[in-house]
């Protein structure tokens, strides 16, 4: 997924229904929307519903010529997502069926061979980064991310503060980012990484 600037030309292509631009748009903002929603919604289905409704409304707004600041396209998507989310909350308070759904895995939108290779490369890189970490840091990350223990408890048990955890994540991210960027640029816009979402 190439880095593209959100400008008037980009918005025009979206409005005109350019397939590649639409693919890029959906892939780019899907990840951000999912990250945004995962701390607000428990159900993957609810996340998917809000994501899809957000895109539907954004495209309607695009065609209606309501996006007057192309450079603020991202902010517009975020704002639209907030609106959909609020409506979802209101609907959920009337009918909690969505929130009560069991946690379930849903498949990636599309899995391509290049994406699978990229996923393996990235997994290898992450394994390398983790292997280079001191054993204590590995255990710290495991207890926070995998075991999902309370972060304050984990930090106390390891004798570190929360800033240590932030810096640890920051360094790991920095080590990983260049490969991540390389793989993102090499992949077609609609392709997503194989595996759980």
Partner 1 sequence: MDHAEAVRQKATERYLLDELDPDVRDQFEEHLFDCQDCALDVRAAAMFVEQSKVVLAEPPAPALAAQRTPAPAKAGWFSWFRPAFAVPVLALLLAVIGYQNFVTYPNLMQAANQPQVGPWASVNVSTRGTAATVIQTHAGEGFSLLVNLPPEDGFASYAADLYNPAQKLEWSGAISTATAAADQARQIYIPGRNRQPGTYTLVVHGITAAGESKEISRHPIELQIQK
**Displacement of CA 7 from its chain's centroid (Å):** 22
- State which residue, 98 or 122, has the beta carbon closest to partner 1: 122
Do residues 194 and 123 lie in contact, with contact meaning Cβ atoms separated by under 8 Å? no
HSE-CB at 44 with a 13 A cutoff on CA atoms is: 9
Number of residues that bind partner 1 (CB under 8 A): 47
In the chain, DSSP finds a helix count (H) and a strand count (E) of: 9, 0
- State which residue, 13 or 151, has the beta carbon closest to partner 1: 151
Q: Does 29 bind partner 1 (CB under 8 A)?
A: yes
Q: Does 10 bind partner 1 (CB under 8 A)?
A: no
Q: Does 114 bind partner 1 (CB under 8 A)?
A: no
Q: Which stretch binds partner 1 (CB under 8 A): 43-51, 83-91, 98-106, 144-152?
A: 144-152
Nearest to 138 by CA among 123, 153, 124, 154: 154
> What's the rounded Cα separation, in Å, for the pair 135 and 168?
13
Residues forming a β-bridge with 192 = 111
**Displacement of CA 117 from its chain's centroid (Å):** 20
String of DSSP letters for 31-43: HHHHHHHHTT-S-
> What's the rounded Cα separation, in Å, for the pair 70 and 66?
10
Question: What residues between 54 and 113 interact with partner 1 by CB under 8 A?
Answer: 72, 74-75, 77-79, 82
Closest distance between partner 1 and the C-beta of residue 64, in Å? 20
Binding string, 166-195, against partner 1, x = CB under 8 A?
xx-xx-xx--xx--xx--x--------x-x
Q: What DSSP element (H or E) covers 119?
A: helix 113-132
Q: Does 36 bind partner 1 (CB under 8 A)?
A: yes
Q: Does 31 bind partner 1 (CB under 8 A)?
A: yes
Q: Rule CB under 8 A: choose which of 66, 130, 132, 150 binds partner 1.
A: 130
Residues of this chain that bind partner 1 (CB under 8 A): 3, 5, 28-29, 31-32, 35-36, 39, 72, 74-75, 77-79, 82, 122-123, 126-127, 129-131, 135, 138, 141-142, 144-146, 151, 162, 165-167, 169-170, 172-173, 176-177, 180-181, 184, 193, 195-196
């Amino acid at each position: 997924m190439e880095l593209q600037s959100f400008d008037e030309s980009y918005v025009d292509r979206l409005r005109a229904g350019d397939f590649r631009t639409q693919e890029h748009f959906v892939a780019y903002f899907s990840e951000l929307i999912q990250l945004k929603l995962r701390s607000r919604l428990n159900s993957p289905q609810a996340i998917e519903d809000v994501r899809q409704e957000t895109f539907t409304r954004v495209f309607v707004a695009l065609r209606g010529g309501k996006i007057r600041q192309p450079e603020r396209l991202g902010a517009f998507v975020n704002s639209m997502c907030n609106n959909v989310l609020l409506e979802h909350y209101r609907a959920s308070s009337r009918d909690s069926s969505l929130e009560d759904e069991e946690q379930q895995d849903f498949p990636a939108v599309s899995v391509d061979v290049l994406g699978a290779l990229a996923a393996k490369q990235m997994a290898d890189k992450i394994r390398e980064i983790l292997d280079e970490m001191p054993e204590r840091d590995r255990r710290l990350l495991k207890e926070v991310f995998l075991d999902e223990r309370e972060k304050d408890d984990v930090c106390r048990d390891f004798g570190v503060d929360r800033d240590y955890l932030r810096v640890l994540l920051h360094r790991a991210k920095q080590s990983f980012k260049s490969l991540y960027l390389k793989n993102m640029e090499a992949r077609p816009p609609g392709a997503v990484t194989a595996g759980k979402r």
